[in-house]
Chains A and B, each alone.
Chain A
């Protein structure tokens, strides 16, 4: 129990701190690295919630795939110029005010709704492997969305190649 709690706070801290640093760094490479930290933190939260499959997916896809993509693009696009510019736009104070209002409101809702969510979920008793359970559902009930998602990925691949290529 203790260990769980400690790990939760560690991972939550990683995720939130990483996120803050991602958003605030001047150098985009630093941002990307802090984003990796944040994503690893989130992956840890998945693990604490017994979503082992998602944990693996998060690390392989996000940290391994998407972040590499980001780093590639950062290298392709000349960011030195951008790093010397102003990092925040003119509306930043309006945006910040707006976010503060929204966060206050969201916090209120969360607080007022806490009662109904207070009970922590009991641990799954003698659960089969998370991956196996997930596969069961994914390939039966969610088979069609799964296939559609594959089409979406294909479209995304074709689309990004078309847009990024100099001449088609």
Chain B
């Protein structure tokens, strides 16, 4: 089978699964009469946990939906293997044109015609993405069959999840910006649906709306950026745009290219939760945990990174915007990491950690190290999915409890979860040898050495790395070590998750260990070139980005920085251990929650409150009252004056109306009435009269031809 020409099949399978589920799902899963999903912990009594019985037809859901994603995964592998064998490593399949517009004049005066195809582009970048999406997606689907087993709306969950995979694949396989936007909005929709999965909880509904609305801001930027780019390049196809941009020189100052790049970045910032649009992601944790793992950690939130990496040809030309990207990324990274330091909800810590790690990716994008950003995206997908799924397993064991202050001592009770999360935490902290180390270290090095980077960004990154290791190990120590702090009832029900959940955990743990070894730093010259396969694989995509490189740097400096980042990570782990493990006997590990800084951090820098004040209350409510006063004074005054004038003039026009205008109208009505008598006679409603008229018409026509 020729996989490359059948790329369209890859997204088709999950779509099929989603459609089957949406149409027939209720028959497979009839258990929930009201179709209202109950949150874990609320579902019936606590005793329900631990009984892993699946209804007879429910098994169909559990087989079909993960099976569809598995098929996509296998097809993706096949396609990628075939792609590796082709010469240019780019394969474009255009199915048909689905948007076609009128021709119009582009920015440089030449004529262009807007058209967007329904086409797929498989190149090294998108092949990495589809493998992540389908591979991790499959693992998370499997995990969900265990995790969601007791929830109502089981089929609905899988329908949305499959739909998400479909849209995500459309997003990464699209060969043009317009189709990418279809996937972009589609994953946003699925994110909305899944965040609000427990829609009877107000918090979940609010979080879903928040995610949707905040994303709108970014999407507006994306559309504008896309249209501007089209006006510049005359096409929305990636390959055409790149070709059109290839013969431009980099912009000095802030020109039109920078504007379109900045608008695209605004879109990416919304989707990938960058400051100031990150606020939706922490709230998105209201969704089920597998959703947090798949959508809000591994795949959808990295769509922004993917999109900017995809537009690298544009960002290479716009150093100003790239600097903004790096700055925003660095700020987001340290900002979110600082919040994560003190959060008590296990999923919120991970959520802020995700925001922070996305910030890292944007730093890499901003300093022009696109492959490193994708590399971090790839390793982050493993260990963050692992951590989220592990957290889900912990929550599962704790009968729905998410507050780390009421955990502790879980190490021996749920050993598989503990061990896999241990690996994940080591990986994210940046301990050498695990996946996170390679990518994070490469980002820090690029931030230091790249012409676009700076020492400041490096320093911020280093501090963030320190914070990352600290909060992750705070999480580990609070959750798994020390004395149990949960109530007796919960404690009695702690149990290891079923195999359907632990197997994905183990697989992801394995990937978190091994996944980084295809991106070993150049410095480690003992390893052959094969260990740097990731960079070489992506080289054709980011060919434009390599033009600016590469200043020579001392190897010793790089060794030194590497040692620095490793020691920072280890130091943070030790510090966390001292702080949280040494006083594990204490019942209240958050006793230090008195300092001002701590309070600010716990309240997330009051950003939500500021937004509320500025936009929600400020603009909508206070601005509303101001507008009201303006209305009653100025606008209404004008209206009243006009009304007086109108009344004055209307007296004359009444007379005119009554006698002249009405007179004319009546006259014409009368005329019509008189003349309509014969016509009305004809319209008597009898079919035969009408048929007679047809005959009369025939007679006339024939007579006309006869007389000719």
Listed in ascending order, the chain A residues whose CB lies under 8 Å from chain B are 89, 91, 94-95, 98-99, 101-102, 105-106, 108-109
Contact of A98 among B686, B692, B705, B706 (CB under 8 A): B692
Q: B703 interface residue, CB < 8 Å from A?
A: yes
In the bound complex, CA of A99 to CA of B686 (Å):
19
Listed in ascending order, the chain B residues whose CB lies under 8 Å from chain A are 686, 688-689, 692, 695-696, 698-699, 702-703, 705-706
Known interface pairs A89-B688, A91-B688, A91-B689; A108-B695 also in contact (CB < 8 Å):
no
Q: Is the CB of B706 within 8 A of A105?
A: yes
Q: Is the CB of B692 within 8 A of A102?
A: no
Known interface pairs A89-B688, A91-B688; A98-B696 also in contact (CB < 8 Å):
yes
- Write the chain A residue with the least CB distance to B694: A98
- Write the chain B residue with the least CB distance to A95: B692
Known interface pairs A89-B688, A91-B688, A91-B692; A102-B706 also in contact (CB < 8 Å):
no
Q: Is the CB of B695 within 8 A of A99?
A: yes
Q: Is the CB of A105 within 8 A of B699?
A: yes
User: Would you mind naming 10 contact pairs between A and B with Cβ atoms under 8 Å apart?
Assistant: A91-B688, A91-B692, A98-B692, A98-B696, A98-B699, A102-B698, A105-B699, A109-B702, A109-B705, A109-B706
Which residues on the A side are within 8 Å of B692 (C-beta)? Answer: 91, 94-95, 98
Which residues on the B side are within 8 Å of A89 (C-beta)? Answer: 686, 688
- Give A78 Cβ to nearest chain B Cβ, in Å: 22
- Give B271 Cβ to nearest chain A Cβ, in Å: 50
- Give A92 Cβ to nearest chain B Cβ, in Å: 10
Which residues on the B side are within 8 Å of A102 (C-beta)? Answer: 695, 698-699, 702
Interface-central residue, B695, B699, B706, by most chain A CB under 10 Å: B699
- Write the chain A residue with the least CB distance to B698: A102
Which residues on the B side are within 8 Å of A101 (C-beta)? Answer: 699, 703
- Give B56 Cβ to nearest chain A Cβ, in Å: 38
- Give A113 Cβ to nearest chain B Cβ, in Å: 12
Which residues on the B side are within 8 Å of A94 (C-beta)? Answer: 692
- Give B615 Cβ to nearest chain A Cβ, in Å: 58
In the bound complex, CA of A99 to CA of B703 (Å):
13
Which residues on the B side are within 8 Å of A95 (C-beta)? Answer: 688, 692, 695
Q: Is the CB of A108 within 8 A of B706?
A: yes
Which residues on the A side are within 8 Å of B699 (C-beta)? Answer: 98, 101-102, 105
In the bound complex, CA of A108 to CA of B703 (Å):
10
Interface-central residue, A89, A94, A101, by most chain B CB under 10 Å: A101
Q: Is the CB of B702 within 8 A of A106?
A: yes
In the bound complex, CA of A106 to CA of B698 (Å):
10
Known interface pairs A89-B688, A91-B688, A91-B689; A105-B703 also in contact (CB < 8 Å):
yes
Which residues on the A side are within 8 Å of B706 (C-beta)? Answer: 105, 108-109
In the bound complex, CA of A77 to CA of B686 (Å):
21
In the bound complex, CA of A99 to CA of B706 (Å):
16
Taking A94-B692, A99-B695, A109-B702 as given, write out 17 further A-B residue pairs in contact, using a Cβ cutoff of 8 Å, ordered by the A residue number. A89-B686, A91-B688, A91-B692, A95-B692, A95-B695, A98-B695, A98-B699, A101-B699, A101-B703, A102-B699, A102-B702, A105-B699, A105-B702, A105-B703, A106-B702, A108-B706, A109-B705
In the bound complex, CA of A150 to CA of B699 (Å):
36
Which residues on the A side are within 8 Å of B705 (C-beta)? Answer: 109
- Write the chain B residue with the least CB distance to A100: B699
- Give B707 Cβ to nearest chain A Cβ, in Å: 10
Which residues on the B side are within 8 Å of A108 (C-beta)? Answer: 706
In the bound complex, CA of A91 to CA of B696 (Å):
13
Which residues on the B side are within 8 Å of A106 (C-beta)? Answer: 702
- Give B202 Cβ to nearest chain A Cβ, in Å: 47
In the bound complex, CA of A10 to CA of B75 (Å):
78
- Give B228 Cβ to nearest chain A Cβ, in Å: 51
In the bound complex, CA of A95 to CA of B698 (Å):
12
In the bound complex, CA of A123 to CA of B613 (Å):
99
Interface-central residue, A91, A94, A105, by most chain B CB under 10 Å: A105
In the bound complex, CA of A94 to CA of B699 (Å):
12
In the bound complex, CA of A89 to CA of B687 (Å):
12
In the bound complex, CA of A91 to CA of B703 (Å):
22
In the bound complex, CA of A55 to CA of B699 (Å):
33
In the bound complex, CA of A36 to CA of B197 (Å):
72
In the bound complex, CA of A13 to CA of B346 (Å):
101
In the bound complex, CA of A102 to CA of B698 (Å):
7
Which residues on the B side are within 8 Å of A109 (C-beta)? Answer: 702, 705-706
- Give B312 Cβ to nearest chain A Cβ, in Å: 54
- Write the chain B residue with the least CB distance to A108: B706
In the bound complex, CA of A140 to CA of B688 (Å):
41
- Give B551 Cβ to nearest chain A Cβ, in Å: 73
Q: Which 3 A-B pairs have the closest CB atoms?
A: A105-B702, A101-B699, A102-B699
- Give B66 Cβ to nearest chain A Cβ, in Å: 43
In the bound complex, CA of A101 to CA of B703 (Å):
9
In the bound complex, CA of A89 to CA of B695 (Å):
16
- Write the chain B residue with the least CB distance to A102: B699
- Give B699 Cβ to nearest chain A Cβ, in Å: 5
In the bound complex, CA of A89 to CA of B691 (Å):
13
Which residues on the A side are within 8 Å of B696 (C-beta)? Answer: 98
Which residues on the A side are within 8 Å of B698 (C-beta)? Answer: 102
- Give A58 Cβ to nearest chain B Cβ, in Å: 26
Which residues on the B side are within 8 Å of A105 (C-beta)? Answer: 699, 702-703, 706
- Give B687 Cβ to nearest chain A Cβ, in Å: 11
In the bound complex, CA of A105 to CA of B705 (Å):
9
- Give A132 Cβ to nearest chain B Cβ, in Å: 39
Which residues on the B side are within 8 Å of A99 (C-beta)? Answer: 695
